[in-house]
Chain A
Amino acid sequence: MKYVDEFRAGDLAEKLARQIASEASADRTYHFMEFCGGHTHAIFRYGVQDLMPENVHFVHGPGCPVCVLPVRRLDDAVELAEKHGAILCSYGDMMRVPGTKQRSLIKAKADGADIRMVYSTLDALKIARDNPDRQVVFFAIGFETTTPPTAVAIKQAEAEGLENFSVFCNHVLTPPAIGHILDSDDFAPGGPAKIDGFLGPSHVSAVIGSKPYEAAAEKYQKPVVIAGFEPLDVMQSVLMLIRQVNEGRAEVENEYTRVVTREGNRKAQALTGEVLELRESFEWRGLGSVPHSALRIRDAYAFFDAEKRFTVSEKQSRETKSCECPAILRGVKKPTDCKLFGTVCTPENPMGSCMVSSEGACAAYWTYGRFRDPARQKADAA
Chain B
Amino acid sequence: MNMVDKGVSIRAGSVDMTHGGGGRAMAELIADLFQRHLGNPILAQGNDGALLEPQNGRLVMSTDGHVISPLFFPGGDIGSLSVHGTLNDVAMTGARPLYLTAGFILEEGFPLADLERIVMSMARAAKEAGVPIVTGDTKVVEKGKGDGVFITTTGLGVVPDGVHVSVECAKPGQAVLLSGSIGDHGVAILSKRESLEFETEIRSDSAALHGMVAAMVEAVPGIAVLRDPTRGGLAATLNEIARTANVGMMLDEAMIPMKPDVAAACELLGLDPLYVANEGKLVCLCDAGDADVLLEVMRAHPLGGDAARIGTVIDDDVNLIQMKTGFGGTRVVDWLAGEQLPRIC
Contact = CB atoms under 8 A, between A and B. Distances in A.
A47 B328 contact: yes
Contacts of B320: 371
Interface stretch (A10-18, A78-86, A174-182): A10-18
A366 interface: yes
B325 A46 contact: yes
A348 interface: yes
Contact of A348 (B267, B331, B338): B338
Contacts of B331: 44-47, 368-369
Interface string A345-379: 01110000000000000010011111110000000
A310 B80 CA distance: 48
B337 interface: yes
Given A4-B267, A118-B195, A371-B320, A10 B326 contact: yes
**Which of A1, A9, A346 has its CB near the most chain B CB atoms (within 10 A)?**
A1
A47 B331 CA distance: 6
A48 B338 contact: no
Query: Interface of chain B, helix or strand or loop or mixed?
Result: loop
Contact of A8 (B318, B326, B337, B338): B326
Contact of B328 (A10, A119, A347, A371): A10
Contact of A347 (B195, B318, B322, B338): B338
**Which of B318, B322, B327 has its CB near the most chain A CB atoms (within 10 A)?**
B327
A145 to B, nearest CB: 13
B264 interface: yes
A65 interface: no
Contacts of B195: 118-119, 123, 126
A203 interface: no
B196 interface: yes
A96 interface: yes
B218 interface: no
Interface string B315-345: 0001010100111111110110110000000
B338 A47 contact: no
A372 B320 CA distance: 11
A8 B327 CA distance: 6
Nearest to B331: A368
A119 to B, nearest CB: 6
A367 B263 CA distance: 20
Given A96-B338, A119-B196, A231 B327 contact: yes
A276 to B, nearest CB: 25
A372 B269 CA distance: 29
Contacts of B334: 347, 366-368
Chain B interface residue number, banded: 20 to 34
Interface string B86-105: 00000000000000000000
A51 B334 CA distance: 21
A347 B339 CA distance: 11
A341 to B, nearest CB: 14
Chain A interface residue number, banded: 20 to 34
Contact of A13 (B264, B267, B328, B332): B328
A9 B338 CA distance: 31
A47 B327 CA distance: 8
Contact of A17 (B318, B328, B330, B335): B328
Nearest to A350: B337
A50 interface: yes
Given A119-B196, A347-B337, A372 B328 contact: no
A56 to B, nearest CB: 14
**Which of A8, A51, A346, A367 has its CB near the most chain B CB atoms (within 10 A)?**
A367
B162 interface: no
B332 A1 contact: no
Contacts of B46: none
A47 B269 CA distance: 22
B260 interface: yes
A265 interface: no
**Which of B195, B320, B329 has its CB near the most chain A CB atoms (within 10 A)?**
B329
A119 B327 CA distance: 29
A261 interface: no
Contacts of A368: 331-332, 334
A49 interface: yes
B267 A46 contact: no
B326 to A, nearest CB: 6
Interface string B179-201: 00000000000000001100000
B263 A51 contact: no
Contacts of B330: 47, 50, 371-372
Nearest to A48: B329
Contacts of A126: 195
Nearest to B322: A371
Interface in B262-277: 263-264, 267, 269
**Which of A10, A231, A363, A366 has its CB near the most chain B CB atoms (within 10 A)?**
A10
Contacts of A370: 332
Contacts of A119: 195-196, 269
Interface string A52-77: 00000000000000000000000000
A1 B337 contact: no
A117 to B, nearest CB: 8
A49 B264 CA distance: 25
A369 B328 contact: no
A48 to B, nearest CB: 6
For the complex of A and B, the 10 pairs showing the least CB-CB separation, nearest first, are A47-B329, A347-B337, A50-B329, A46-B327, A368-B331, A367-B334, A10-B328, A47-B330, A123-B195, A13-B328
Interface of B: 195-196, 260, 263-264, 267, 269, 318, 320, 322, 325-332, 334-335, 337-338
28 contacts: A1-B263, A1-B264, A1-B267, A4-B267, A8-B326, A10-B328, A13-B328, A45-B331, A46-B325, A46-B331, A47-B325, A47-B328, A47-B329, A47-B330, A48-B329, A50-B330, A51-B328, A51-B329, A118-B195, A346-B337, A347-B335, A347-B337, A347-B338, A348-B335, A367-B337, A370-B332, A371-B318, A371-B322
Given A14-B328, A372-B330, 6 more contacts: A17-B328, A45-B331, A47-B330, A51-B328, A347-B335, A371-B330
Interface of A: 1, 4, 8-10, 13-14, 17, 44-51, 96, 106, 118-119, 123, 126, 231, 346-348, 363, 366-372
